[in-house]
Amino acid sequence: MRTIYKCVAGLDVHKRTVVATRMRVTADQQLAWETETFGTTTPELLQLHDWLQGWPCTHVAMESTGDYWKPVYNLLEDDFELLVVNAQHVKHVPGRKTDVKDAEWLAELMLHGLLKASFIPPKPQRALRELTRYRTRLIQERSRTVNRVQKLLEGANIKLSSVVTDIQGVSARKMLAELAEGNTNAGAMAELAKGRLRNKIPELVKALTGVVHPHHRFLLSQQLAHIDFLDSQIEAIGTEIERQLTAMSHPPEPPETGSDTSDTKTATWRGPQDWLAAADLLDTVPGINARAAQGILAEIGIDMTRFPSDGHLCSWAGAAPGNHQSGGKRYSGRTTKGNHTLMSILVQCAHSAVRTKGTFFKARYHRLAARRGKKRAIVAIAHSMLKAIWHMLTTGEVYRDLGADYYDERSKDRKIAYHTRQLEKLTGSEVQVALAVAAT
């Protein structure tokens, strides 16, 4: 088999050890390799770095085993061409499974150019990812705590959620604070309502009358304090994300050349040149707000030349339908595995987009949900949104909605003929349709 590289290495990474194999083609076209085991502390990984440079190796491959590859990647990425590969793609022959064999197999595959690297963003984008993902975890924890408050209120016979929409709103929050401090006067607490909620004061008095014990008040005060703490943390993380985006807003490096994209659409990058502009650009899509735009950019970046086409991006994210065919039969087309964080954001945005009146996404969702079900329809909307995002970041153009009547306009004559036939069936006579000409 033809060798692509002259000197490479394969790393089998674990929590405490890294088994490394360096392999090269000698002057007499013979294959030589050496294997060593190193620890995973920073001094030991620096020894691995020097050992790899001893031959020297140009390309280094490792499997994406949990988070254990990250310390190795941090110390080697500046001096080597690193490839983090999917373990499912490099399975060895069954029955020959050892750490040494795994490292040798990775090095051999790397030598022949048979490995496909996973997308690893540059350092600034990885930092942005950690910030946005941690903010998501904090928001999820806040939602769980709010649900705990609701559960506690139900146990104390307080039916506040039956009257107010959000128990963390301004009025409801004041009522809960009074309840936590020991106030048992339901009428006084109901008078804290503001705005249109004052029209429901009689209902509030009934809802706030319950059986509240001391342990209920203690737990409620603790949960409310935890919610306040999470709110402050989310705000602080948001400020740091803004600072990180500002620091990253500089002209990007020119795209890498030499990749084989002969069978795909090669992207010509004319998109936004800084991260803040890209976030503002994505904010024009229905269903995507500033926070969602930051999360999407943290996952995919702003340089779409990494993805030769919108289909490549959707497949990488796990939004594209699967392709499973054998014996002339097509089997399950469920979506492939991909970036779960990105898909979670896109699905949330899709739910918001299909509730926005007069949009193409709303029309497409109802068209698909009637035939394929709501869950498949939401995934299809997320797929469409991601394709639109790829084109926006590639061309730099703002989102242009096709409109809620896109499908009707596309098949206007067919729909007119269909409804005409329906009228004829109902009336039993011929129906003539006269189209009004719009005044110019």
**Tens digits of residue pLDDT in 417-429:** 888 889 888 888 8
pLDDT per residue of the chain (440 residues) written in tens, 0 to 9: 789 999 999 999 999 999 999 999 998 889 999 999 999 999 999 999 999 999 989 999 999 888 999 999 999 999 999 999 988 888 766 767 899 999 999 999 999 999 999 999 999 999 999 999 999 999 999 999 999 999 999 999 999 999 999 999 999 999 999 999 999 899 999 999 999 999 999 999 999 999 999 999 999 999 999 999 999 999 999 999 999 999 998 654 555 544 444 444 444 557 787 899 999 999 999 999 999 999 999 999 999 999 999 999 999 999 988 887 778 887 777 888 899 999 999 999 999 999 999 999 999 999 999 999 999 999 999 999 999 999 999 999 999 999 998 888 888 888 888 888 898 888 888 888 776 655 44
Question: What's the distance, CA 280 to chain centroid?
Answer: 18
Spell out the residues 6+ positions from residue 433 whose beta carbon is closer than 8 angstroms to its own. 416, 420
Residue 304, both tokens: 């779409």
Question: What's the distance, CA 402 to chain centroid?
Answer: 25
Distance between first and last Cα of the chain: 71
The Cα–Cα gap between 365 and 363 comes to 5
290-300 vs 275-282: helix axis angle to the nearest 10? Answer: 120
319 phi/psi in degrees, rounded to 5: -100, -10
CA distances from 60 to 14, 199, 203, 316 (A): 16, 69, 68, 22
SS3 81: strand
Among candidate residues 258, 260, 255, 301, the one with its CA nearest the CA of residue 278: 301
pTM over 0.85: yes
pLDDT in the model for residue 258: 45
CA angle 235-304-5, nearest 5°?
115
